[in-house]
Chains A and B, each alone.
Chain A
Amino acid sequence: MAILITPATKILIQGITGEFGARHTRLSLDYGTQVVAGVTPGKGGQFFEHGAHRVPIFNSVADAAKATGATVSAIFVPPPFAADAILECVDANLDLAVAITEGIPIKDMVRVKRAMEGRKTRLVGPNCPGMVSPGAGQDSHGGCRIGIAPGYINKQGHVGVVSRSGTLTYEAVFQLTTKGIGQSTTVGIGGDPVNGTSHLDVIKLFAADPDTHGIILIGEIGGNAEVEAARWIKANCKKPVAGFIAGATAPAGRRMGHAGAIVGGAEDTAAAKIAVFKECGIEVAVTPSDMADALLRAAKAKSVTLT
């Protein structure tokens, strides 16, 4: 009914006692997410309290996972310590680590990615809004919300959304929900040049998920991850796909907010990526306001029902 995480997934929060981590832990608990543990080295044995919730805090990820059965971590650790936090998840053999932290040095991520090769743990992020698999309750309550995305704009359903950008993802989800179209899972893979899970990785999961009927692929300038995903879609994915690329007006050589959003050559411009999308049968959203409509056009052309 979703990819990577479901409403039943048990998650732990690294950096639960920091201001940022605490705030989003409370929002996830309110959304009905199974937050079963927190990790803050030195604060093991204490509890994170919010309303009726009493979440135990541990000194290490391994301890937390062992005691609570958590399989996924949300990382809210400051940039200098974030790489170590990810490696701790790998060492504890978690299924998934979602790194929300923005501003991790590229070199740290290069080393982390190398260390993760051949290991069980998947990384989503860093510098990402996280993931949501909506629940069945009102305003999608009861879903699994990992990270900083708003939960209430989601609706349980059958569209997969993958994006590098946070607010642009919310924009797409909001458009879908407003039109009565629900989502299976929304994945923010993050705006950094070195990240754990790529557009293509997520697209493959959506393509294989029987409960996902259509996909929105949101990309931006810089790198060739969107192109790689588009070519795979052309060859392997029968589901309707809509795409949007941000940054058509970005000047070359400037970093547009995201560390990865920089035009380095002729092939990573918005125009080049849009051309590849079209060539690969992806319905291109003309403007960001057109993302849900673009998917509806793609679904109609393939006679697929999204709801």
Chain B
Amino acid sequence: MNIHEYQAKALFEKFGVPVPKGAPAKTPEDFINALSDLPDGPTMVKSQIHAGGRGKGTFTDGYKGGVKFCKTKADAREIAGKMLGNTLVTLQTGPAGRKVQTVYFTVASDIKKEYYLAILLDRTTSRPVIVASTEGGVEIEKVAHETPEKITKVFVDPAYGLADFQVRELIFKLGLAGTEAKNAAKLIRNLYTCFWETDAAMVEVNPLITTPTGEVLALDAKVSFDDNALFRHPEIVSLRDLNEEDSKEIEASKHSLNYIALDGNIACLVNGAGLAMSTMDIIKHFGGTPANFLDVGGGATKEQVVAAFKIILGDANVKGILVNIFGGIMDCNVIAQGIVEAVKEVGLKLPLVVRLEGNNVTSGKATLAASGLKLVSGDTMADAAQKIVKLVA
């Protein structure tokens, strides 16, 4: 689960990670209130959407830049009016962009130098890793590619937590000394606590900055959480912004279906994540384009199959459907009955190819054949994929 920058910074403050003073606003009426909390002088206005690349983004009405520096609070108020309610397109949003429903005002800090700091899980060592670099404010992937020597990694032993010597190592590698070093050490320790205590999947500060007075601040904040751990963090679940998620994906999660919208025209309904991914792949292999990832899980019920059909058909781009079920334990006949019921309930007009295999498959196929529905049966995944691609073409 992802959260907005302003929410991440509120979380940082709770854990003692210093951030520039700021306040969010969700309506133009809120602007004055939010700005009244900030001192007079240079102010930043930042569009709050989950996607990155905001600063270089363009709004659909042609206005450029989702993050702006303003000399005065009055300017900030005017700029915020241009962003709020407008749709911002960045490299990460796709062409449709995201509607800005919150703007965030912050004090524009004096920057002495920018750094990079992030904490995430390292899959190879199965340990948290702290990644730091003297190159902040730019894409870390680019730094890793071009000047890997400028990136320092520290792996934290979960049995002991972050050790002081590791914090010192990071500080020295970043070239910090004196007050800056002292402040940075405290920030790193607190950020690690924030990462660990909230079951974060990643916390990223880019840039982390030093100021002429020796302060060390998180100028930006990106935080995502481990979905599996949300059950023990109701305070984090309450930060979820459904506006940032696909409505079909939200509906799917209500039925314990795992759905991800894609931009093709062949919808798929599959049991199991690996099989669902490879069903998308095989559609592509035979020249089609998948409209979604949809895993109905190992023990799909009739109700889930009906819900799944409704969700897929909510996508106007869909021109055909491929159902691929390997019923290991699950009875293929139950699935077949679910398909028949779903097709009748939604009044399906689009081509449908069904590939059933596994437990009680003969009865399942018989149920489909006896249903009188216009559907095509596929024997193997390859056979089924070729058939649906042909029907949609």
- Which residues on A are within 8 Å of B, measured CB to CB? 24, 27, 79-80, 103-111, 113-115, 148-150, 152-153, 163-171, 174, 191, 193-194, 218, 220-225, 244, 246-251, 253-261, 265, 270, 286-290
Min CB distance, A65 to chain B, in Å? 26
Chain A residues contacting B295 (CB-CB under 8 Å) are: 257
Bound complex: CA of A97 vs CA of B282, how far in Å? 34
Q: 1/0 contact trace for B228-271 toward A, CB 8 Å? A: 11011000000000000000000000000010101000000011
Question: What are the 9 tightest A-B residue pairs by CB atom distance, in nearest-first order?
Answer: A165-B274, A257-B273, A167-B272, A168-B274, A105-B229, A150-B328, A289-B382, A167-B275, A246-B277
Q: Which residues of A contact B229 (CB under 8 A)?
A: 105-108
Q: Which B residues have a C-beta under 8 Å from some C-beta of A?
A: 92, 121, 123-124, 126-128, 141, 157-159, 196, 199, 201, 226-229, 231-232, 258, 260, 262, 270-285, 290, 293, 295, 298, 326, 328-329, 357-359, 380-383, 385
- Between A and B, 22 residue pairs with Cβ closer than 8 Å are A105-B232, A106-B121, A107-B199, A107-B226, A113-B126, A150-B358, A153-B328, A168-B275, A170-B326, A171-B357, A246-B281, A249-B283, A249-B284, A251-B260, A251-B262, A257-B276, A259-B228, A261-B274, A288-B279, A288-B282, A288-B381, A289-B382
Cβ-defined contact, B328 with A270, below 8 A: no
Q: Are B293 and A105 in contact (CB under 8 A)?
A: no
Q: Measured between C-beta atoms, what is the minimum distance from A283 to chain B in Å?
A: 17
Is B281's CB under 8 angstroms from A193's CB?
no
From known contacts A106-B121, A111-B158, A153-B358, infer whether A247 and B277 are also in contact, taking CB-CB under 8 Å: yes
- Kindly list chain B residues whose C-beta atoms are within 8 Å of the C-beta of A225: 123
Contact across chains for B278 and A288 when beta carbons are under 8 A apart = yes
Tell me the minimal C-beta distance from A285 to chain B in angstroms. 10
In the assembled complex, the Cα of A246 lies from the Cα of B128 at a distance in Å of 27
Query: Chain A nearest CB: distance from B343 CB in Å?
Result: 22
Which residues does chain B contribute within 8 Å of A222, judged by CB atoms?
123
Bound complex: CA of A277 vs CA of B211, how far in Å?
49
Q: What is the interface of chain B mostly: helix, strand, loop, or mixed?
A: mixed
B358 to chain A, nearest CB (A): 7
Contact of A150 among B201, B273, B359 (CB under 8 A): B359
Given contacts A167-B272, A167-B326, contact A105 B382 (CB under 8 A): no
Q: A85 CA to B328 CA in the complex, in Å?
A: 26
User: Are A166's CB and B280's CB within 8 A?
Assistant: no
B126 touches A148 (CB 8 A): no
Known: A79-B231, A256-B260, A288-B381. A107 touches B329 (CB 8 A): no
Contacts of A115 in B (CB 8 A): 159
| With known contacts A105-B226, A170-B326, A194-B121, A110–B127 Cβ distance under 8 A | yes
Contact of A261 with B359 in the complex, beta carbons under 8 Å: no
Task: Please measure, in the bound complex, the distance between the C-alpha atom of A289 and the C-alpha atom of B123, giving whole angstroms.
Answer: 30
Inter-chain CA distance A153–B260, complex, in Å, is: 30
List residues of chain A with CB within 8 A of the CB of B196: 107
Residue in chain A with minimal CB distance to B92? A253
Across-interface contacts of A246 in B (CB, < 8 A) = 274-275, 277-278, 281
Within the complex, the shortest CB–CB distance from B72 to chain A, in Å, comes to 37
Distance A256 CA – B273 CA, assembled complex (angstroms):
7
Q: Which residues of A contact B232 (CB under 8 A)?
A: 80, 105
Residue from A111, A149, A251 in contact with B328 in the complex, judged by beta carbons closer than 8 Å:
A149
Q: Is the CB of A105 within 8 A of B228?
A: yes
**Contact in complex: A166, B274 (CB < 8 Å):** yes
Given contacts A110-B127, A165-B273, A194-B123, contact A287 B228 (CB under 8 A): no
Residues of chain A contacted by B358 (CB below 8 angstroms) = 150, 153, 170, 174
Write out the residue numbers on chain A whose beta carbons fall within 8 Å of the beta carbon of B284.
Answer: 248-249
Nearest CB on B from A300, distance (A): 21
Could you tell me if A104 and B274 are in contact, using CB atoms closer than 8 angstroms?
no
Contact A287 B123 (CB under 8 A): no
A249 close to B290 (CB less than 8 A): yes
Give chain A residues whose Cβ lies under 8 Å from the Cβ of B277: 165, 220-221, 246-247, 249-250, 256-257, 261
Closest chain A CB from B292 CB (angstroms)? 11
Minimal beta-carbon separation of B153 from chain A (angstroms): 14
- How far is A114 from B128 in the complex, measured between Cα atoms in Å? 12
- A286 partner residues in chain B, CB cutoff 8 A: 285
How many Å lie between the Cα of A27 and that of B329 in the bound state?
9
The answer for the CA separation of A287 and B274 in the assembled complex, in Å, is: 13
Minimum distance in angstroms from B108 CB to a CB of chain A = 30
